[in-house]
Amino acid sequence: MPTYSALTHTDSGSSRRAATTAYGVRKTQYAVRNTRYGFTLIELIIVVIVVALLVLLAQVNLFGLLGRNTFEAQIQEFVSTMQMAVAAAAQSERRYEVIVDLVEQGFLLREITSPDLSEVLEEEIIVQSYFNDNCRVAYVEFDDGEYTSDTRAKFRAGHAGWHYGGKIVLLDEDELPYSVVVNRLNRIVQLREGDVELLVPRPKDEVPF
């Protein structure tokens, strides 16, 4: 019996120590879990802030890219229309005309079918389009010295090429100029960056041959 009582006492003490140890372990684990949860929340906030900044930066770049693409698409459409006019005229006996409207900020390509060049018939129109704020016409200068910034400018093409050349100066959304140069000597239509100097043909009496 005494031996049994001693064993019982010893077991009770071990049980209490084990219970105390288990409680301490659970408490420590709970504290660790709470600490880890706090760090995770801070990290989550940082990640959210970083993602928000990246999304904002991507939106700014996207809007800039879209604006740039809009300008490039519009100016390329205009250049293609000019090239279409002179190419179609060279392959036929027909005459074509590109009208640049600086008031309405638009342009159209038509096939000339009437002797009255001042009137544009509905059935003559092949292409008609308008510029927007990302791409607008500033002015037009012809190679004979004529200049306009507030009316219509007309470039007419026949089988022999352009009747006269010139340049159409367009501005992008940052007001940077680009020149569409029409060369009547070789039928070439070029897009060049900047407001380029126009090559004016020399009068016949100044040509040495």
Q: How far apart are CA 79 and CA 155, in angstroms?
A: 12
Question: Is 39's pLDDT higher than 90?
Answer: no
Total-model pTM: 0.64
Q: How far apart are CA 173 and CA 47, in angstroms?
A: 35
* Average pLDDT rounded to a whole number, residues 61-86: 76
Class of domain 1-209: alpha beta
Q: What are the pLDDT digits (tens) for 90-120?
A: 998 899 999 999 999 999 999 999 888 888 8
Instruction: Check the CA dihedral 130-98-71-144 and report its sign.
Output: negative
Burial of 157 (C-beta count, 10 Å sphere; 0-12/13-18/19+): buried
SS3 (DSSP) at 121: coil
Please work out, in degrees rounded to the nearest 5, the angle formed at the alpha carbon of residue 175 by the alpha carbons of 182 and 64: 110
